[in-house]
Amino acid sequence: TVYYYKDRFLKGGETPVPVEDRAFNYGDGIYEVVRFHRDRSFGLQEHLERLRDSAEAIRMALPFPLEEIESIVRSAVSQVEDEVVDVYFQISRGEALRVHPFPQTDPVLSLYARPGRIYTEDFREAGVAVITLPDERWSNCYIKSLNLLPNVLAKQAAVEAGAYEAVLIRDGWVTEASASNVFGYHDGVFFTHPANRHILNGITRRFLLRAIQKLGFTVQEEPMSEEFFQNEVESAFITSTTMELMPISKINQRELHPLGPESPVWQILQAFRTL
Ligand code: PMP
């Protein structure tokens, strides 16, 4: 793993997180995760733009211009030799005496790049079980904030229930999952929650919407009711940078049909990969 903190790459084992970094004390910051296949990124520009938008939403300046962040990201990736590399980068509001108002200090970039977490095709064909849980997050989920406590608690509850993800329900509607977006398929139509303040507008979600449209399927950016999702959808999947598209094999107690390579969901994954 290659680590970067503030203004330099770190030597082996060195991780100097100041105790009063606001990311540490308040979760006061934002982040992104981008996947690279060698030097070809998946949607790097969109990730950088979302980072800029998240920063603006929390009224935080970026420590460097976007182009410079891009070149630090690319430099980190080039130092990992694997074919697939995942880069995590976050910006905290900086290191300052721990009082709530914004500090005068400069924001701080930290980053790591490491071999990508690849899911085997067998794992993908088997799909993953999900449970549904109440969405207990705030109303600014479009910001990719470092505050992930509700997401962590939801994911842990899923794992403890023998599932892989927690699909979140807000006022009776499926929003997204703890670390991914959610799609359902019913009667020739794909559904996913509209990109408003109740979900993170995933970059994978956006590319998949394009893939679905390119294949000529109908897609409605409309929320699914909990009842529709639980009882009606024929198939469903979750999406994220590291998972790409992951079929759902079970929603609480209901098993979903296995998804063969001839299924629309499989076709979409192939189309997505060639975008
Ligand atoms: N929603 C949430 C809550 C997430 O944490 C993530 C991934 N971090 C996503 C959706 C998927 O976003 P992306 O496709 O940009 O990875």
Mean pLDDT computed over 189-204: 98
Question: pLDDT at position 99, please?
Answer: 95
Tell me the pLDDT tens digit for each residue of 98-107.
999 999 999 9
The structure tokens 């697939």 sit at 84
Helix axes 44-57, 66-78, angle to 10 degrees: 130
Is 179 near ligand 1, meaning CB less than 6 Å away? yes
- Is 180 in contact with 238 (CB distance < 8 Å)? yes
Asked if the model's pLDDT at residue 15 lies above 70, the reply is no
Is 205 near ligand 1, meaning CB less than 6 Å away? yes
Asked if the model's pLDDT at residue 14 lies above 90, the reply is no
Mean pLDDT computed over 155-170: 98
Domains of the chain (ranges plus CATH)?
Answer: 2-115 (3.30.470.10), 121-273 (3.20.10.10)
Mean pLDDT computed over 1-9: 80
Going 245 to 166 to 26 to 197, the CA torsion angle's sign is positive
Q: How many CA atoms lie within 13 A of 84 on its CB side?
A: 9
Is 192 near ligand 1, meaning CB less than 6 Å away? no
Q: Higher pLDDT residue, 260 or 188?
A: 188
For residue 71, the SS3 value is: helix
- Which residues, at least 6 apart from 89, have a Cβ–Cβ distance to it below 8 Å? 4, 31, 32, 34, 51, 69, 72, 73, 109, 110, 111
Active-site residue numbers?
144
Q: Give the confidence band of 272 by pLDDT, cuts at 50, 70, 90.
A: confident
